Structure 1
Amino acid sequence: MSAADPAPLGTALGTALVTGGTSGIGLAIARGLVARGFGVVATGRERPEAELGERIVFLEADHAAPDAAESVAARLGEPFGPLTALVNNVGRRHNDTIAELDRDSLLETLALNTVSHMLLTSRLAERLGAARGAVVNVSSRLAVVGMAGVSGYAASKGALNAFTVAAAVELAPLGVRVNAVAPGMTKTPLIESWLADQPDPAAAEQEVAGRVPLGRLASPGDIAGAAVFLASPESGYITGAILPADGGYTVS
């Protein structure tokens, strides 16, 4: 199947694995993949109380654990057909200033935001290659735009971008495409909670949205649309790309 001849809507596209796929951007990606024709296995540390939706299977996993990649690869079935997509979404924020950087906390951030994605890609590469599948890494605008107080987080995402382009070249002979989506500030539960804690939530949102050329924060669905495209046959001739989904922030 080539980009010039993508699978039509409604076609079953196999199994996609979405790490951290039970809330926020991850859940929006999982649901977007289902709408496109994938079945999804979504990982999380705890089973969510709310239903994830049809064709989404929960797999318990703590991607911060040293053996997480091996454990997930061993337990990952293919309930909807061959494994055709891996979305490396799970991550954590790191909001220390440079003066506050702590070795242990910094290593935890790098281990989850970068190393866990590298190892899971490694452990699943052959299975993805058998189906000529795709890897989508969830990066950040902060990998390429300087901002005070987020150097640890930015470094982890910058490293993820570097892995994305290197892996795209190395895995191309297997038929595996590797791309990344780089979200801007997105109205996830975490950001909505932050806004709610501000003295004037509406003014705070207006202030941060005012820095974005499109004039608003992203919704999880905005990011999901980009990630689903990169996972789907429509992007079959795209690999090694870092796709900004930031409302024009990084080019303004």
Structure 2
Amino acid sequence: MTSHAPSQPPRNDPAPLGSAIVTGGTAGIGHAIACALHARGFGVWVTGRNVPEDRVLAEIGSRSAFVAVDHSSSSAGAATVAAVDDRFGPLRVLVNNAGRRHGATVSALDATEIRATLDLNVLGTMMMTQAVVPRLTAAGGGSIINMSSRLAVVGMPAVSAYSASKGAINGFTVATAIELAPAGIRVNAVAPGMTRTPLIDEWIAEQPDPVAAEQAQSALVPLGRLGTPQDVAAVVAFLASPEAEYLTGMILPVDGGYTAA
């Protein structure tokens, strides 16, 4: 477990709203969330398996630092929280974003791959949540935001294991929201639709007609376009903020109306 911080960590300039942990926060939706939280007034700790390029922390902002961790390990939650110091102020937010996409038909499901998906998507979220509760309680409360998916409630071929993992996240979210409410800890989940991450951009580019492929996917969305990481990040930042202090136990779709349709 190692941490990587800016060259001049602002130890005497704590963030106005305290600090936040964003797991899997070095790229894609996680990175957008880290940037949005920093812009809202949080200091941000991002986690990942590999130390990112310096520009990743620079893009987030001056109040950011990195912790190297594999969230599929059952000890990762405790180790991550132990590595987070108070340079940005008290810990107030956890965003459980680290996860993996598992694509396989039912006939091709592999037990090892299923366990890897559940270890990262479900166990990782549970252990991180358990680890931050004492710190959030000591700070007088806080916000936990879990990353779910439209595929937890909408059927699609060849994603059954992934869908099952995100269904588990929904159940965990509502149960912990009730359990942790007396401590002033709010627990919500965000369920993105198809979002223009590098993975989705790569999939679109691989299609025989990329323009037609994107248009076909966009046509399934009532608002007429695919989501962006910034769309998701804006909702997460709101849920983390004091403005959302009366929201808990929500599974909030950020999908342009896809699941409503």
What is the TM-score with the length of structure 1 in the denominator?
Answer: 0.94
Aligned twin of 1:170: 179
- The one of 119, 126, 142 equivalent to 2:127 is 119
Map 1:54-73 to 2 at 5 A. 54=61, 55-73=63-81
8 Å contact from structure 2 (residues 72, 123) kept in 1 = no
Aligned twin of 2:56: 51
Distance 2:128 2:52 in 1: 23
8 Å contact from structure 1 (residues 195, 201) kept in 2 = yes
8 Å contact from structure 2 (residues 33, 234) kept in 1 = yes
Report the Cα offset of residue 194 of structure 1.
Answer: 0.9
**Root-mean-square deviation over aligned CA pairs:** 1.0
8 Å contact from structure 1 (residues 126, 174) kept in 2 = no
Report the Cα offset of residue 208 of structure 1.
Answer: 0.8
Q: Which runs of 5+ in 1 are unaligned?
A: 1-10
Report the Cα offset of residue 52 of structure 1.
Answer: 2.2
Map 1:194-233 to 2 at 5 A. 194-233=203-242
Greater relative CO, 1 or 2 (CA 8 Å, sep 6+)? 1
> What is the aligned residue count?
242
Distance 1:44 1:81 in 2: 22
Map 1:91-130 to 2 at 5 A. 91-130=99-138
2:157 corresponds to 1:153? no
Identity %: 57
Specify the SS of the correspondent of 1:177: strand
2:24 corresponds to 1:20? yes
AA in 2 matched with 1:31 = C
8 Å contact from structure 1 (residues 141, 244) kept in 2 = yes
Report the Cα offset of residue 146 of structure 1.
Answer: 0.6
Report the Cα offset of residue 200 of structure 1.
Answer: 1.0
AA in 1 matched with 2:193 = G
AA in 2 matched with 1:27 = H
Report the Cα offset of residue 188 of structure 1.
Answer: 0.4
Report the Cα offset of residue 51 of structure 1.
Answer: 3.1
- The one of 24, 40, 46 equivalent to 1:42 is 46
- The one of 141, 148, 152 equivalent to 1:143 is 152
